[in-house]
């Protein structure tokens, strides 16, 4: 445990402190700062909406929380049953375990694997969590029903499903395991009104159970129905394209020394 | 980590180097793997990944470093410090190595069924009916038609030979499975089917799996953690999705962008 | 005795039993190693014998290194004392060792044989010397010495059992009928030499010492007295021996290995004991009882 680290409050599920993100593309000798000095606290039962113009870094931030993007400075603390985990410094095993037990990520699209049935897509995260097989099967069945996926479709691979059906399977998968922190990246983008409402109900349910949600919603109306707090990235982040890349476009030879200086 | 599926460390390599005359095929490689995990090792030809696999699998002695196995409670073995008889005994029962070329891992003059159960006979199994039943069971699990059980591997397609080799490796229930380019030389659709099968198997059996591949899509599909090798060294390591979506090292970035361009 | 000078050339020109004492000692050393490691093939410096290789030179060297004035030598080929090869080996030893020879299994102290084991169980004072063309039972799997050595060293005999498996799969039974591999003392797998599998059970816990000599391949191996010898099989497909459809037409035996003789152009056939001494002895006993 880091001596400087301040533990999470009892009802805090996620806390970011002074988190920044810079992408360094070695081949192009470019360094791009996308997020700077972000701090954020999320409590159980909250649904945080990450707001801001396209390209400001909302998805980037979500991916940093999940560990898909690497964070080099700052702290991202997540509460787990076994104590607080700092995503920034955690080793890969810890992160794998974190994702299994605590943090769920639901993106806009279901990643379809050819021969995995819809039922198995939802079942697997439950089994991996150590949940008893019979109980896991019951939960998977109930989630799929809740999201309106007909039982005759359960043994089929979602490959042939419509976009909306696939996304509902995706939601079922994301929410079945009762994660305490859920990261939702435009979860309702491909759904019609009726199905959107189903999903919102699932989200509300999770919030009632004490989960915390950090979400990006495409649609303001949808957001208004479930979000408890807006966080606008425009106001907290600084997008900064290093002077090197600008110089690169104008005079390539000089860019090298500038690029070296930028990081 | 006692929740879920991730078990304790089952194999640990420290400072493994393999020096051939004039060539350092592996340079100071350190890695470990837990039960229930799939670790991918990616790199181009000549990166040393296949050599590393052979050092881990007990068939090529590294010129430096150690390979430790923890196979049962308290039982801890330094693979290259024990005598050869013990090492053969350990590798035969605990490690399955699926070779890149099926001919290296199969007996071409023995039937498919014979290939599958030979490791059991080598370990002392003496009941024909039970052996036959095991052969049938594994043919089914690997989705090989039972018609082929008494045919020779030379009559099989590349994909079928790979599956047969995997069955032969798994029949003794090894704790560790090492695979060298499991989808090499296969058509895309055949690859997809094999990868699916592998993913199911990995989930079913409580094993630790190391997959060596030059194909990032294969690594993405099978592995949760990746190691990137280049010229014998590990240049970057981490979560599979992190390495592929936000690579930090220059070489990894180049690998990933090259894959995306195709 | 190594001749000290040319004047000794007037003598017989060879040592007792043909081999010089040094050679005999080195062969006996190899034999001792073989006895210490039942079933393990011990290399030895096979030497030129006045018999082409492939005709029993290995066994000949073993017999030569063991035979003494008190021994009685029996030599059989396919069970018969009067076969050409057996007869010439016997006369060789008569000449170079002044040996007493016999056709009686009961009387013999050393029995050199090719392709059969005598029907009569051996006693603890008897040595059986078998002629072996190919001592390596794993040769049918691979020509590589490195591989067969490795397989023996690690008792990695899976591939041999696979052959049995393949036989049973294809033919419902193991097709091998002679030179049927055996596991000696629970450890090494050995070739019993090209004896019919009928004779395999005789080796199990025999009171006599069995020595196997392969001159061309330069190997000697041994089965010490009272050693366990099991023919390879599966629990549910146990090893079994040949059965004959008739009794010996000369002595009436139903338990011995029989040769089939075609007696006429019409295809008439008779079965006769392959072990001539066994058969003759039984005939005498029967006649004696008849009187």
- CATH number of the domain encompassing residue C68: 3.40.50.11310
Domain span holding position C107? 12-231
Q: pLDDT tens digits for chain A (263 residues)?
A: 455 678 888 889 999 999 999 999 888 888 888 888 889 999 999 999 998 888 888 999 999 999 999 998 999 999 998 899 999 999 999 999 999 999 999 998 888 877 789 999 999 888 888 888 899 999 999 999 999 999 999 999 998 899 899 999 999 999 998 999 999 999 988 888 888 888 999 999 999 999 999 999 988 888 889 999 988 886 444 444 443 322 222 223 333 333 222 22
Going from the C-alpha of A238 to that of each of A23, A232, B35, the distances in angstroms are 14, 12, 43
Answer yes or no: is pLDDT of C273 > 60: yes
From the list A67, A101, A115, the residue facing B196 with the nearest CB is: A115
pLDDT band at C1 (very low <50, low <70, confident <90, very high): low
Catalytic residue from among C11, C13, C39, C264: C39
Do C204 and C287 lie in a common domain?
Answer: no
Residues C104, C106, C110, C111: is their CA dihedral positive or negative?
positive
DSSP H or E segment with residue B18: strand B9-20
Which stretches within C178-225 are classed as H helix? 200-203
Q: Which two tokens stand for residue C104?
A: 């009686």
Answer yes or no: is pLDDT of C61 > 90: yes
Does residue A77 contact residue A86 with C-beta atoms inside 8 Å? yes
Q: Give chains near B: 3+ CB pairs under 8 A.
A: A, C
> Which pLDDT belongs to residue C242?
87
**Is B107 in CB contact (< 8 Å) with chain C?**
yes
Candidates A25, A31, A67, A70: best to mutate against B (most CBs of B within 10 A) is A70
C window 165-184, beta carbon within 8 A of B:
165-166, 168-170
User: What is the spatial distance between Cα C138 and Cα A7, in angstroms, rounded to a whole number?
Assistant: 68
Q: Which two tokens stand for residue C72?
A: 């009685």
Q: What is the CA radius of gyration of chain A?
A: 20
User: What is the spatial distance between Cα A210 and Cα A43, in angstroms, rounded to a whole number?
Assistant: 9
pLDDT band at B145 (very low <50, low <70, confident <90, very high): very high
Instruction: Give how far B247 is from chain A: nearest CA, Å.
Output: 8
Q: Which two tokens stand for residue B26?
A: 């592996």
Q: Kindly determine whether residue B129 and residue C236, on different chains, have CB atoms separated by under 8 Å.
A: yes
Inside any domain, residue C1:
no
Do C195 and C72 lie in a common domain?
Answer: yes
> Which pLDDT belongs to residue C6?
55
**Residue in A closest to B34 by C-alpha:** A93
Does residue B42 contact residue B229 with C-beta atoms inside 8 Å? yes
Measured between beta carbons, the chain C residues lying within 8 angstroms of B89 are 154
> Which pLDDT belongs to residue A218?
83
Q: Kindly determine whether residue B34 and residue A67, on different chains, have CB atoms separated by under 8 Å.
A: no
pTM across the whole model? 0.83
Q: Is C251 a catalytic residue?
A: yes
Three-class secondary structure of residue A15 per DSSP: strand
Q: Is C267 a catalytic residue?
A: no
Question: Taking each helix axis from N to C terminus, what angle separates A163-176 and A133-146, rounded to the nearest 10 degrees?
Answer: 140
> Which pLDDT belongs to residue C274?
94
From the list A69, A100, A124, the residue facing B245 with the nearest CB is: A69
User: What is the spatial distance between Cα B92 and Cα A172, in angstroms, rounded to a whole number?
Assistant: 43
> Which pLDDT belongs to residue C170?
92
Catalytic residue from among C58, C79, C213, C273: C273
Q: Kindly determine whether residue B242 and residue A68, on different chains, have CB atoms separated by under 8 Å.
A: yes
Do C202 and C271 lie in a common domain?
Answer: no
Domain boundary among C180, C200, C231: C231
Instruction: Give how far C161 is from chain B: nearest CA, Å.
Output: 6
Name the residue with tokens 């099967």. A137
Q: Kindly determine whether residue C161 and residue B128, on different chains, have CB atoms separated by under 8 Å.
A: no
User: What is the spatial distance between Cα B174 and Cα B95, in angstroms, rounded to a whole number?
Assistant: 5
Q: Which two tokens stand for residue B246?
A: 């936000």
Answer yes or no: is pLDDT of B76 > 80: yes
Answer yes or no: is pLDDT of C2 > 60: no
Q: Kindly determine whether residue C154 and residue B85, on different chains, have CB atoms separated by under 8 Å.
A: yes
Name the residue with tokens 């009559």. B155
Residues C98-146 have pLDDT tens digits of 889 999 999 999 999 999 999 999 999 999 999 999 999 999 889 999 9
SS3 content of chain B, % helix, strand, coil (to 5): 40, 25, 30
- Find how far residue C172's CA is from the centre of its chain: 29
Do C209 and C269 lie in a common domain?
Answer: no
- B with A: 3 or more CB pairs under 8 Å? yes
Decide which of 3.20.20.450, 3.20.20.80, 3.40.50.300, 3.40.50.880 is the CATH code for B9-101+175-261: 3.40.50.300
Inside any domain, residue C3:
no
Q: Which two tokens stand for residue A218?
A: 């495409």
DSSP H or E segment with residue B245: helix B240-245
> Which pLDDT belongs to residue A130?
80
Measured between beta carbons, the chain C residues lying within 8 angstroms of B127 are 234-236
Q: How many domains does chain C have?
A: 2
Highest mean pLDDT: which range of B119-123, B215-219, C217-221: C217-221
Does residue A189 contact residue A218 with C-beta atoms inside 8 Å? yes
pLDDT band at C14 (very low <50, low <70, confident <90, very high): confident
> Which pLDDT belongs to residue A263?
29
Q: Is C248 a catalytic residue?
A: yes
Inside any domain, residue C70:
yes
What are the extents of the domains in chain A?
A: 1-100+226-263
> Which pLDDT belongs to residue C44?
96
**Is B133 in CB contact (< 8 Å) with chain C?**
no
The mean per-residue pLDDT over the stretch B118-141 comes to 94
Do C209 and C271 lie in a common domain?
Answer: no
| Fold of the CATH domain A1-100+226-263 | Rossmann fold (3.40.50)
Do C94 and C218 lie in a common domain?
Answer: yes
Inside any domain, residue C4:
no
What are the extents of the domains in chain B?
A: 9-101+175-261
E strands along C108-231, which residues? 110-114, 127-131, 182-184, 188-190, 209-214, 219-223, 229-231
Provide the β-strand partners of residue A233.
none
Average pLDDT over chain B, rounded to an integer? 90
Average pLDDT over chain C, rounded to an integer? 92
């Amino acid at each position: 445990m880091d001596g400087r680290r301040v533990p999470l409050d009892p009802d805090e599920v996620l806390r970011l402190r002074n988190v920044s993100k810079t992408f360094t593309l070695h081949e192009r000798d470019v360094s791009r700062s996308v997020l700077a000095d972000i701090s954020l606290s999320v409590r159980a039962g909250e649904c945080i909406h990450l707001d801001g113009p396209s390209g400001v870094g909302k998805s980037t931030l979500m991916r940093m929380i999940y560990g898909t993007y690497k964070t080099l400075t700052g702290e991202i603390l997540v509460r787990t049953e076994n104590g607080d985990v700092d995503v920034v410094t955690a080793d890969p095993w810890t992160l794998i375990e974190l994702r299994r037990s605590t943090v769920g990520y639901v993106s806009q699209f279901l990643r379809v694997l050819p021969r995995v049935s819809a039922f198995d897509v939802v079942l697997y995260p439950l089994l991996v969590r150590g949940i008893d097989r019979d109980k896991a099967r019951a939960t998977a069945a109930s989630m799929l029903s809740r999201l309106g996926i007909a039982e005759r479709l359960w043994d089929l691979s979602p490959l042939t499903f419509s976009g909306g059906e696939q996304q509902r399977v995706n939601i079922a998968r994301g929410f079945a395991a009762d994660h305490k922190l859920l990261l939702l990246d435009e979860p309702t983008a491909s759904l019609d009104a009726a199905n959107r409402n189903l999903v919102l109900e699932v989200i509300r349910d999770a919030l009632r159970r004490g989960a915390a949600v950090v979400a990006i919603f495409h649609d303001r109306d949808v957001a208004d129905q479930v979000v408890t707090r807006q966080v606008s990235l425009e106001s907290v982040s600084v997008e900064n394209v290093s002077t090197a890349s600008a110089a690169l476009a104008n005079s390539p030879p000089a860019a090298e020394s500038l690029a070296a200086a930028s990081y | 980590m006692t929740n879920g599926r991730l078990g304790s460390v089952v194999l640990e390599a420290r400072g493994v180097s393999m020096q051939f005359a004039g060539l350092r095929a592996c340079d100071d490689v350190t890695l470990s793997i837990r039960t229930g995990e799939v670790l991918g090792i990616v790199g181009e030809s000549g990166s040393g990944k296949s050599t590393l696999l052979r050092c881990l699998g007990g068939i090529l002695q590294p010129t430096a470093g150690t390979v430790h196995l923890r196979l049962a409670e308290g039982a801890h073995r330094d693979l290259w410090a024990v005598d050869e008889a013990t090492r053969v005994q350990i590798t035969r029962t605990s490690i399955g190595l699926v070779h890149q070329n099926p001919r290296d891992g199969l007996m071409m003059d023995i039937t498919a069924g014979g290939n599958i159960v030979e490791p059991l006979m080598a370990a002392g199994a003496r009941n024909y009916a039970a052996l036959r039943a095991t052969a049938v069971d594994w043919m089914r699990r690997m989705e090989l038609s039972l018609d082929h059980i008494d045919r020779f591997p030379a009559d099989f397609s590349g994909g079928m030979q790979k599956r047969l080799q995997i069955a032969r490796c798994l029949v003794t229930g090894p704790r560790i499975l090492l695979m060298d380019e499991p989808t090499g030389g296969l058509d895309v659709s055949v690859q997809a089917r094999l990868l699916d099968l592998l993913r199911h198997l990995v989930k079913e059996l409580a094993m630790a799996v190391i997959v060596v591949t030059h194909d990032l899509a294969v690594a993405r599909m099978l592995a949760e953690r990746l190691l990137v090798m280049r010229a014998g060294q590990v240049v970057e390591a981490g979560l599979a999705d992190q390495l592929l979506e936000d690579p930090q090292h220059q070489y990894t970035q180049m690998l990933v962008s090259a894959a995306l361009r195709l | 005795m190594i001749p000290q000078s040319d004047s000794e050339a007037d003598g017989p020109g060879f040592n007792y039993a043909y081999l010089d004492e040094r050679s005999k000692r080195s062969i006996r050393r190899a034999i001792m190693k073989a006895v210490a490691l039942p079933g393990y093939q011990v290399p030895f410096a096979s030497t030129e014998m006045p018999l082409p290789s492939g005709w029993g030179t290995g066994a000949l060297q073993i017999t030569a290194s063991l035979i003494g004035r008190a021994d009685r030598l029996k030599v059989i080929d396919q069970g018969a004392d009067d076969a050409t090869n057996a007869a010439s080996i016997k006369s060789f030893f008569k000449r170079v060792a002044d040996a007493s020879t016999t056709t009686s299994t009961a009387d013999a102290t050393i029995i050199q044989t090719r392709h059969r084991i005598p029907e009569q169980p051996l006693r603890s004072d008897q040595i059986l010397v078998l002629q072996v063309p190919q001592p390596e039972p794993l040769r049918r799997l691979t020509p590589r010495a490195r591989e067969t050595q490795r397989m023996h060293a690690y008792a990695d005999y899976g591939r041999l059992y696979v052959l049995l498996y393949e036989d049973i799969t294809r033919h419902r039974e193991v097709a091998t009928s002679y030179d049927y591999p055996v596991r000696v003392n629970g450890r090494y797998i050995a070739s019993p030499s090209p004896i019919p599998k009928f004779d395999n059970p005789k080796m199990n816990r025999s009171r006599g010492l069995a020595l196997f000599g392969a001159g061309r391949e330069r190997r000697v191996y041994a089965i010490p007295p009272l050693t366990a010898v099991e023919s390879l099989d599966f629990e549910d497909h146990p090893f079994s021996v040949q059965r004959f459809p008739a009794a010996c037409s000369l002595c009436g035996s139903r338990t011995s290995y029989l040769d089939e003789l075609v007696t006429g152009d019409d295809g008439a056939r008779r079965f006769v004991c392959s072990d001539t001494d066994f058969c003759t002895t039984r005939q005498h006993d029967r006649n004696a009882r008849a009187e």
